[in-house]
Structure 1
Amino acid sequence: FAFLERVIAGYARHPNFAHVVIIGLGCETNQVKQLVEKSGLEDGARLAYFNIQQVGGTRASIQMACDKVLDMARSQERDERRPAPLHHLSVALQCGGSDGYSGITANPALGHAADLIVRHGGSAILSETPEIYGAEHLLLDRAVDVDVARKLLARIAWWKHYTEINGAELNNNPSPGNKAGGLSTILEKSLGAVAKGGASSLNDVLEYAEPLKVPGFNFMDSPGYDPVSVTGQIASGATVVCFTTGRGSVSGFKPAPCLKLATNTHMYETMHEDMDLNCGAIIDGEVSVEEMGEAIFERIVAVASGDSSASESLGYGSNEFVPWMVGAIT
């Protein structure tokens, strides 16, 4: 329940939304009015909310929602585009459908781009706790202080307990797609996944969907399931998603544009309509990791400035809102 509250509140205050309408049923545990007040959101020009039961049912609710959206759209016409510094950017670092090339092409290149974002005052959020297992020492060594290191260790300990009580283990095997792509163990995958975080200091460790407070490189606790993980990153404040993939991924994550970074040239050429950049050029000997990282950085800035990513142009992103549901459902 706490995760769901944080996710909805995080999306409601997300800078990529000009306006937000939140609709509740009226008798659920997660009351809209309570959520708005508890999260420090304000009912006004940018946000409106109501309950279906109070308004009078489905048709009345649809009409009210349409009226509010139209009013908001009219007010939005008065806004003007203005230049903004890069410190406003927060980039979600994500991977899915990883392969044997991920850890030597797209992931380290994205890590270099993340360092450039941080260097310009922005933030980068790494996540997927089960997929850093076995390589967490690489992040612990970069923690700015002991408290941050302890936060990360606490999340690893929680996952060990969580998997144990559910009859599983954290040191499990990669997915069938990962294995087909050349990854034999979760440790191989973790080493590649951590590379997405670059070399900047680890400034904070966030719980799932917890708002980002400390600029720079952050780690957010989440499952390795991509839609759940990215939903949390966006709720934490990520404004752009960078998604490395070796097998091919076609997801998008509104309201944050999602850049797809191919780890190998064969997959890029096969799925070029869904990919934004070919990091396989690294293994082909055409560019260095650093040069590809700079290209990713420039593409992030371009998309944040209004260019469309491949997933946006294809209309992806409306169905990938998947909050993490933990615990018994009674």
Structure 2
Amino acid sequence: MKRTFLQINPTDNVLVALCDLKKGEEVVFKGKTIILQDDIAAKHKFTIDDLKQGEEVTMYGVLVGKAQMPIPAGGLIHTFNLKHASEPFQGKLKDYTWKAPDVSAWKNRTFMGYHRADGQVGTQNYWLVIPLVFCENRNVNIMKQAFLKALGYAQPDLYLDQVGSLLDAYQSGADIDSLKTFQFQQKKTDYRQNRVFKNVDGIKFLTHESGCGENREDSENLCNLLAGYCVNPNVAGITVLSLGCQHSQVSILQEAIHKISPNFEKPLYILEQQQDLGSGESQMLAEAIRQTFVGMIQINEIERQPAPLSKLRVGVKCGGSDGFSGISANPAIGHTADLLVALGANVMIAEFPELCGVEQELQNRAVTAEVADNFGYLMKEYARRAEAVGAGFDMNPSPGNIKDGLITDAIKSAGAAKKAGSSPVVDALGYGQYSKKAGLNLVCTPGNDVLATSGMAGAGATIQLFTTGLGTPTGNPICPMVKLSTNTKLAQKLPEIIDIDCGPIIEGEKSVEEMGEMVLEYIIGLASGEYQTKAMELGQDDFMFWRRGVSL
């Protein structure tokens, strides 16, 4: 019999509707008949017992809000009657014992990766072009146009024929409305067949709006983040374009790189536009193109070789979340995270505003009091900065989140934290720091999809798992992004952006553990270059830098 509702944790005093339920319907929970007082849309929650004004609401076993008015048993909880609330946190209060999952089936498995001189192993072999300041964005884009098509990395222009048809109709005087529907003819081909350099998975170009005109802290943080991209094992070589007079100086970037990797050996070409005014911009670009081409010849000699799964570096993220996120896709990749940690890999979870309410649990899972305290400091400092500009973590849920059942930040956070599985927390990293410890790492970023995924790539992630209940096309230039839908309806609605459907968990067809194991198998194939994610096929290369200070 299909389930119609779910209690996530035995201590919860609300139930989650798994399908649309109507006002007046009777549901039976643990022998108690509950008459629904409202229509309850799938993904939303209703109370088990009467709640008084000010009474606490718990989900996932934690405090997620307080009733703002009396709510009868069977009543819908929503923004009009529930306000965000979360438990305080005090550092590591008790020891944590973790029972690792059985990983014997994967102990001797390998993936085919790119081995770097510093011991890291990449899942991709990219050349990276980056500007140190926004003034160089135009030059980066000129290089991008020159390289992608010539070397076979350009995405197919699916809409060129449509514009051409509209133009022909307009010029011939035909009725434009007759061309409302355009049938795309897209052929599936091997994505590597047109490459000039068979062992180079791509040449990637970053642009941003920072590097100068802001406080020095932000400019230095930009250099730290870009240094992480340079050291990331998915990157084999780098071209840096600098204007010269900006805050984010070349020397700061070089220092940041060598702080992460003292014996950095990748080809790194730096061109500064103001250094030789006599040669002009065109000569600088010509030299940048020449050096980059020579560098790509060099990295094309690197081939994939077997590597243990302990060399994987996987980030976990959710975006466009819904009321099913915390009970399907998030716990599924949480199990994947536990499998990876048990295999000795590095796992990262970011978006600190979406850890609000579960801080104490994560602090108790920390391997040391120092790690717990550092996480607590980062959370409090983030909250302080938010409050200083009139914001707060309670403002985190988006309109889409709220519409699909995530009423408070604490509800959203409690479900989001499921991505981290249950393993011990080995480190808590500030924004722009590089992750160097095997195990579960907490990486400080905003909840914003691109800021968070950009931050984890800068911390060294070589694959990211991204769950979504509403659909988001987010990708990253250097880090393959795997999209997992929380429900089958979304996977069917937006097949061009979803890689894995976790809806069978909601339907009761697969367990969280079974889905988590499927995700691990997918990761192994992806890390070996056997296929691309949907975001990679779309060329969805999103990058954003988190500016925290004022512009000057």
The two structures share one fold, judged by TM-score above 0.5? yes
Find the counterpart in structure 2 of residue 20 from structure 1: 238
Indicate whether 1:322 and 2:544 are aligned: yes
Indicate whether 1:274 and 2:497 are aligned: yes
Q: Which amino acid is 1:49 matched to?
A: I
Indicate whether 1:147 and 2:370 are aligned: yes
TM norm structure 2: 0.58
Displacement of 1:173 in angstroms is 4.9
Give me the whole-angstrom Cα distance separating, in 2, the residues matched to 1:74 and 1:38: 27
CA deviations on 1:107-161 (whole Å, 9 max, x unpaired) are: 0001000111111111110011111101222211211111111011101211221
CA deviations on 1:234-278 (whole Å, 9 max, x unpaired) are: 111100011000000111111000000000011111011210100
Contact 2:321 2:470 in 1 (8 A): yes
Contact 1:32 1:50 in 2 (8 A): no
Find the counterpart in structure 1 of residue 485 from structure 2: 262
Displacement of 1:33 in angstroms is 3.5
Of 138-147 and 34-43, more deviation after overlay is shown by 34-43
Give me the whole-angstrom Cα distance separating, in 2, the residues matched to 1:43 and 1:244: 34
Indicate whether 1:54 and 2:266 are aligned: no
Indicate whether 1:286 and 2:504 are aligned: no
Q: Which amino acid is 1:237 matched to?
A: G
Q: Equivalences for 1:45-124 in 2 at 5 Å?
A: 46-55=267-276, 56-124=279-347
Give me the whole-angstrom Cα distance separating, in 2, the residues matched to 1:147 and 1:110: 27
Displacement of 1:169 in angstroms is 2.1
Contact 2:317 2:350 in 1 (8 A): yes
Contact 1:160 1:170 in 2 (8 A): yes
Give me the whole-angstrom Cα distance separating, in 1, the residues matched to 2:489 and 2:237: 41
SS of residue in 2 equivalent to 1:53: coil
Displacement of 1:199 in angstroms is 0.6
Q: Which amino acid is 1:5 matched to?
A: C
Q: RMSD of the alignment, in Å?
A: 1.5
SS of residue in 1 equivalent to 2:325: coil
Give me the whole-angstrom Cα distance separating, in 1, the residues matched to 2:266 and 2:449: 33
Displacement of 1:180 in angstroms is 1.5
Find the counterpart in structure 2 of residue 8 from structure 1: 226
Find the counterpart in structure 2 of residue 170 from structure 1: 393
Give me the whole-angstrom Cα distance separating, in 2, the residues matched to 1:61 and 1:299: 42
- Larger strand proportion of the pair: 2
CA deviations on 1:201-254 (whole Å, 9 max, x unpaired) are: 000000012011221100011111111111111111100011000000111111
SS of residue in 2 equivalent to 1:171: helix
Counterpart of 1:35 (choices 245, 253, 267) is: 253
SS of residue in 2 equivalent to 1:274: coil
Give me the whole-angstrom Cα distance separating, in 2, the residues matched to 1:6 and 1:173: 26
Give me the whole-angstrom Cα distance separating, in 2, the residues matched to 1:302 and 1:101: 27
SS of residue in 2 equivalent to 1:20: strand
CA deviations on 1:277-310 (whole Å, 9 max, x unpaired) are: 0001100111000000001111111111112111
- Larger helix proportion of the pair: 1
Give me the whole-angstrom Cα distance separating, in 1, the residues matched to 2:466 and 2:297: 34
Find the counterpart in structure 1 of residue 533 from structure 2: 309
Contact 2:428 2:441 in 1 (8 A): yes
Give me the whole-angstrom Cα distance separating, in 2, the residues matched to 1:268 and 1:233: 25
Indicate whether 1:236 and 2:449 are aligned: no
Give me the whole-angstrom Cα distance separating, in 1, the residues matched to 2:474 and 2:331: 22
Where does structure 2 lack aligned partners over 5 or more consecutive residues? 1-218
SS of residue in 1 equivalent to 2:239: strand
Displacement of 1:184 in angstroms is 0.9
Contact 1:43 1:49 in 2 (8 A): no
Of 164-173 and 121-130, more deviation after overlay is shown by 164-173
Displacement of 1:75 in angstroms is 1.4
Indicate whether 1:181 and 2:404 are aligned: yes
Indicate whether 1:128 and 2:351 are aligned: yes
4+ aligned runs moved over 6 Å, structure 1: 41-44
Identity of matched residues, %: 39
> What count of residue pairs does the alignment treat as equivalent?
328
Give me the whole-angstrom Cα distance separating, in 2, the residues matched to 1:134 and 1:282: 25
Find the counterpart in structure 1 of residue 126 from structure 2: none
Indicate how the Cα distance of structure 1 residues 43 and 33 shifts in structure 2: closer, same or farther if over 3 A, else same: farther
Find the counterpart in structure 1 of residue 202 from structure 2: none
Give me the whole-angstrom Cα distance separating, in 2, the residues matched to 1:252 and 1:132: 22
Counterpart of 2:382 (choices 156, 159, 167) is: 159
Displacement of 1:312 in angstroms is 0.7
Displacement of 1:193 in angstroms is 0.7
Give me the whole-angstrom Cα distance separating, in 2, the residues matched to 1:160 and 1:18: 37
Give me the whole-angstrom Cα distance separating, in 2, the residues matched to 1:303 and 1:290: 20
SS of residue in 1 equivalent to 2:395: coil
| Higher RCO (CA-CA < 8 Å; seq separation 6+) | 1
Give me the whole-angstrom Cα distance separating, in 2, the residues matched to 1:26 and 1:279: 49
Give me the whole-angstrom Cα distance separating, in 2, the residues matched to 1:219 and 1:81: 30
Task: Indicate the structure (1 or 2) with the bigger Cα radius of gyration.
Answer: 2
Q: Which amino acid is 2:272 matched to?
A: N
CA deviations on 1:158-189 (whole Å, 9 max, x unpaired) are: 12211221112222251001012111111110
Contact 1:211 1:237 in 2 (8 A): yes
Displacement of 1:80 in angstroms is 2.1
Give me the whole-angstrom Cα distance separating, in 1, the residues matched to 2:449 and 2:315: 11
SS of residue in 2 equivalent to 1:273: coil
Q: Which amino acid is 1:6 matched to?
A: N
Indicate how the Cα distance of structure 1 residues 94 and 173 shifts in structure 2: closer, same or farther if over 3 A, else same: closer
